[in-house]
Structure formats: C-alpha cells, structure tokens
Amino acid sequence: MTLELPTAPKLDDAALAARLQHRIDNKTKPLGALGRLEALALRLGLILGSESPALVAPQMLVCAGDHGLAARGVSAYPSDVTWQMVENFLAGGAAVSVLARQHGLALTVVDCGVRHDFAAAGAPQGGEAPLGGQRSVGANSSAPRDGLAIRKIAPGTADASVGPAMSAAQCEQAIANGIALVRELPGNALLLGEMGIGNTSAASLLLARLTGLDIDACTGSGTGLDADGVARKRRLLRDVLALHADAGTPLAALAAFGGFEIATLVGAVLQAAHEQRVIVVDGFIASTAVLVAQALRPHVVQRCVAAHESAEPGHRLLLDALGLDPLLRLDLRLGEGSGAALAWPLLESACAILREMASFESAGVSQRDNT
C-alpha cells in the first residue's frame, strides 16, 4: 500500500492570538492571576480557531496491542494482562473507564494487535488483516462488542530482539487504521490512551532512537520491575538498539521497535491534527506516538496538550523533546489514558473562562491604576 499522511499546517494566526490574549488579559482578574490556565486557554483557542472555544463530543481512544519483546522479561506482568485489561475496559471496571464515565468522555477501545480473539461468534477469526482493508468494525458499523473496534494487524508484534517488530507494510497499515478511526469519530477533542504489556520498552527504544538520548536514561521500571529487572531491561534494549542500528527514519524506527498500538496512535494523532482537534496526550507511550507523528509532520505538537508527567523517567525527557509542559504531576504510571481523563476538567475550565468570565468593561469593575 502507499501511505498518504495527513497534512498538519502550522498554527500561525497572530491576529487571533492577539485577540485571545486581549480577552484573557481583560477578564476581571489581575494580569496572569489564573496562571497556566491562561496559557491553556490561549492554546485551546488557537487550536480550535475561536475566541470562544467549546470542546464538543470528546473522544477517548485506547489502543491495545501485544509485544513480542515481552517474552524477554521486560515487564513485571505476563502478556495475558493485555487482553484481560481490554475486557476490563469493556466491562467498565478500569481506571480509564471510571474516569471516562465521570467526565462524559466517549470511550473506544481498539484491538490493534492483541494476542486474543475478541470477535463475536461468526465473525472473522484471528490472523492478519489484509492490507488496504478492514476485517472488522468502526464507530458506525456493526461491532462485535459495544465500545470495541477491531483493527488487528496480527496477534502481537514480533520479538524486536531478533528482528523488526513489524514489517513496513504492517506499520503502514496500523498508521492507516489510526487515520481511519479518527475520521469516523465525532467531536473536536481526542484523548489518547493505550494498553500493551511490554510497550514501555518500545517507547524507550523510540525515544532513544529519535532523540539520540542514551537508552538507560529513557528506560524505567514500566509496570513495576525491581532494580535487577530494570538493569536487565536496559541491557536488552541496548542490544535491540544495536541490532536495528540502520532503522534511522521515523517510520523505520517505528517498524523496528513496535508496537501496533503505538503505530495506530501515530495515525490517530496525524488525522486529529489535520482536523484541528485538540489532542490530549496521556503518558509515556502516548507521548511516544506524538514524538513519531511530530517527526513526520513537524506542526502536530501545536495541537497537543500534555495531560501530565508520569513517573516513568523517560517521559520528562520526551516532553522536553516535544516542548510540552504537562498540566499535572501526580506520579502516575498507569497509562490507559487515565492521566488525560484526569486533566480533562482543566481544559473545560480554560474554555469556560474564555467564553463566560466577564471583562472589566462588561462587569463595570475598575481596572488597575497604572498612574
């Protein structure tokens, strides 16, 4: 297949930025008194192209996939946890499920390459989806399970310690799936989530390759490895980097290190940026998808809001590379989109301040005396 990536034009409307800043500065408060909420309001106004931005039909997209590298002991949990947590999402029992309900976020879970069959009886079973076609469902078609979209490329990636995690064709298909998924979703805000045992290893590898940072600095405990486990993980990932020394471009690195859920999120980010949706970035793995998308389309990050800085050490480095300042620092390391959901009310508040807070003139309040 020939993959056509969506465009993401630069946001450079200086006139709109000036009008937004004027509105913010003339609200009934001292200059800058709402702190970083003011910068957030300005960013949201620019992304949505409005002096009175409103967030409509927000979509939480949780992409799931298994990793062949997990068999090498890079996680404290077995790979079966991936499909078990997908079931937990669908049953409404996971953290992101609870938070999505609390904040009115529509939750879609995507099987991008889980080593498990979620299909209903009589639906196509297992195996690799044909390139250029979808074997199952989207938001507007007959789904095997409510809230589940099946875009399975294969039942887990290959082991990146012996060869590429994905073929180039698989990588492109996963990106194309993410693009198509976002096209089907309503609203003007996309919140990113993921699930995949072993995916902090893929994220660490991508961060190291695309930024040139040392792999040790990019690698943490993931789901809770002890010190010896982290040391083994770092040694293995250093070997994996060396094995794929020729994977220098963003797409080649993505194919080499995986995974299907990260590649699907890359496509989702690219399409959301193209449509000028607000992109709410969760933790380390979701941020890695933005890093790849940004390498492909340099202005993608202008549409992004970093929800939080996770406890995974590579996340701070990744946010620095993207130039994003996180809204929250809660030492989260769950993934799933949980941090994005927790930060969501701040985005709603920032928009409400722009739309509804009175100006000095409209409220008849005296401004600061500068004489």
The catalytic site residues sit at: 336
Residue 108 pairs with which residues in a beta bridge? 61
Cis bond leading into 196, ω under 30°? no
Q: Exposed, middle or buried, 125 (CB in 10 Å: 0-12/13-18/19+)?
A: exposed
Residue type, 261: E
**Which of 278, 294, 256, 267 is closest to 165 using CA atoms?**
256
Q: SS3 of 7, please?
A: coil
Report the distance separating Cα 99 and Cα 93, nearest Å.
Answer: 10
Q: Is the dihedral of CA 116, 87, 79, 180 positive or negative?
A: positive
Contact 37, 349 (CB under 8 A): yes
Q: For residue 110, what are the contacts with CB-CB under 8 A and spacing of at least 6?
A: 61, 62, 63, 64, 148, 149, 150, 151, 177, 181, 261, 264
Q: SS3 of 76, please?
A: coil
Please identify which residue in the block is written with the tokens 């992101």. Answer: 96
Nearest-Å Rg of the Cα atoms of the chain is 21
Query: Chain-centre distance of CA 285, in angstroms?
Result: 7
Name the helix (H) or strand (E) containing 150. strand 148-150
Token pair in block for residue 247: 């994977």
Report the distance separating Cα 292 and Cα 90, nearest Å.
Answer: 28
Residues belonging to the chain? 371
Phi, psi of 111 (to 5 degrees): -85, 100
Token pair in block for residue 75: 């996680």
